[in-house]
Amino acid sequence: MSLFTGEYECKMDAKGRLTLPAKVKSKLPEVTGNQLVLSLGLEPCLVLYTQVEHRKIVSRVSSMNEFSEESRKLQRNFFRRISDVELDNAGRILVPKTMAKYASLDKDIILVGMGNRMELWNASVYEEYIINDNKEFSKLAQKHLTE
């Protein structure tokens, strides 16, 4: 498993191409090749996965009970939010326009390592979703990491 960490300031060009930082590209597994998966995030961001990591999630969603209305609804909305993207020779991915619009992505992008995945954020929107108070961070860590 690749471990993606850190924050990177990136630029998206007018055609919707985003160049991945060299540190990120170096962490992509060989088996991934040029193929990645881009998904709409649960917050107003996009999520970038390697194919290996995304297959784990797809397997869980695909195995849900197809005779359950709630499961079908989740599957329908899960799979429609996904796009396969390819890393070109210049190390760029093309962000589909509808996905860029969903996440309000424009020129300035923040790429955030999230362990097994990366998030793509509009730089100004991202500020609303990070914790700047160490006490709040400490409380969340205590609540979720000591269970």
* Dihedral (Cα; 60, 62, 63, 68), 10-degree rounding: 120
Per-residue model confidence as pLDDT tens for the chain (147 residues):
678 999 999 999 999 999 999 999 888 876 556 899 999 999 999 999 999 899 999 999 999 999 999 999 999 999 999 999 999 988 899 999 999 999 999 999 999 999 999 999 999 999 999 988 889 889 888 989 886
The Cα–Cα gap between 121 and 47 comes to 9
Here the CATH number for the domain that contains residue 44 is 3.40.1550.20
Q: Which residues of 88-116 are buried (b: 16+ CB within 10 A; e: fewer)?
A: eeeebbbbeeebbeebebeeebbbbbeeb
Distance CA 22, CA 32 (A): 16
Domain count of the chain? 1
Q: Residue 28 belongs to what domain range?
A: 7-145
Domain assignment present for 123: yes
Residue 2 lies in a domain: no
User: Is 1 part of any domain?
Assistant: no
Within a domain: 71: yes
CA dist., res. 75 & res. 105, Å (int): 26
**Quick check: pTM over 0.75?**
yes
